[in-house]
A = this chain, B = another copy of it.
Amino acid sequence: MIGNCLENVRKNVPLVHNITNYVTVNDVANVLLACGGSPIMSDEPDDVADITSICGGLNINIGTLNKNSIEGMFIAGKKANELSHKILLDPVGAGASKLRTDTAVKLAKEIKFDVIRGNISEIKTLALGSGTTKGVDADVSDAVTEENLDNAVAFVKDYAKKSGCVIAITGAIDLVSDGEKCYVIRNGRPEMSKITGTGCQLSGMTTAFIVANPDNVLEATAAAVCTMGLAGEIAFANMAETDGNSTYRNRIIDAIYNMDAETLEKGAKYELR
């Protein structure tokens, strides 16, 4: 089933509108192409309504927000809601500044998202309406571990129920819940945290997955998370001795490009709680 979700992306070639940060935008575009989607980027308020109208989904990432792009996010989000397009929010750095927290909270309030994906600190900030994060990384004290897993699962289910959308918390252990069920995913490698933007890439890819699997958003999100983690494992196995984080970045995108449904189905490591 997880494998089918990837197949549907390759079959449908979903066009995804990204309002995203300028740090990792190129990798987001190449990951979208690697998984079978098609990216377009636009953040200008006068441009976003037209652009989102021709797309199937919208990926909003606040990583390098500014006054102009924030305006674009609300216009695009409302238009995408009108058109019943799939929408994802990546609240990068929510908790790290008032502007980021306020923007993420306001977006979550005024726009109906299908998926919100972030690290545990960002999602806690959203759930509480305030919080602290260590820059764009999760606070160590927040990290989901085998020890606090039960509590974390309860938290994500609760917030998914309250927010009415699928919540994906990614880290060493990933959690994806729609309020009823929770995927606990153990794919990935710790070295992925030494590459900028694996989270942003995952958000872009997840948007393509939910557009291509519109009636199955929970599983499509879990499938995207497994794809990213498994690609990290495959890419790591392909690393030569002198390779480092820059080559690792390329090899992960390459692994997504070469991933097929069978490989994903076999390599996905998850349990349902």
Copies held by the complex? 3
Contact B51 A97 (CB under 8 A): yes
Tell me which of A106-114, A151-159, A253-261 binds B: A253-261
Q: Let me know if A39 is at the binding interface, CB within 8 A.
A: yes
CB of A266, distance to nearest CB on chain B (Å)? 17
Contact B254 A247 (CB under 8 A): yes
Q: Let me know if A195 is at the binding interface, CB within 8 A.
A: yes
Closest to A68 in B: B66
Q: Given the complex, which residues of B lie within 8 Å of A238, measured CB to CB? A: 242
Q: Let me know if A40 is at the binding interface, CB within 8 A.
A: yes
Contact A26 B29 (CB under 8 A): no
Q: Let me know if A250 is at the binding interface, CB within 8 A.
A: yes
CA A243 – CA B67 in complex, angstroms?
Answer: 39
Say which residue of B23, B46, B234, B249 sits within 8 Å of A246 (CB atoms).
B249
Return the CB mask of A8-34 against B: 1 if under 8 Å, else 0.
000000010000011111110110011
CA A51 – CA B250 in complex, angstroms?
Answer: 29
Say which residue of B234, B242, B246 sits within 8 Å of A30 (CB atoms).
B246
Q: Given the complex, which residues of B lie within 8 Å of A174, measured CB to CB? A: none
Q: Let me know if A47 is at the binding interface, CB within 8 A.
A: yes
Q: Let me know if A42 is at the binding interface, CB within 8 A.
A: yes
CA A243 – CA B63 in complex, angstroms?
Answer: 29
CA A146 – CA B44 in complex, angstroms?
Answer: 38
Q: Let me know if A54 is at the binding interface, CB within 8 A.
A: yes
Tell me which of A134-142, A164-172, A211-219 binds B: A134-142
Contact A30 B256 (CB under 8 A): no
Contact B253 A246 (CB under 8 A): yes
Q: Let me know if A6 is at the binding interface, CB within 8 A.
A: no
Closest to A70 in B: B44
CA A99 – CA B49 in complex, angstroms?
Answer: 10
Q: Let me know if A84 is at the binding interface, CB within 8 A.
A: no
Can you list 5 A-B pairs, Cβ within 8 angstroms, ordered by A?
A30-B195, A30-B245, A38-B134, A51-B93, A244-B253
- Chain A interface (Cβ < 8 Å from any Cβ of B): 15, 21-27, 29-30, 33-34, 38-44, 46-47, 50-51, 54-55, 63-68, 93, 96-100, 134-137, 194-197, 234, 238, 242-247, 249-258
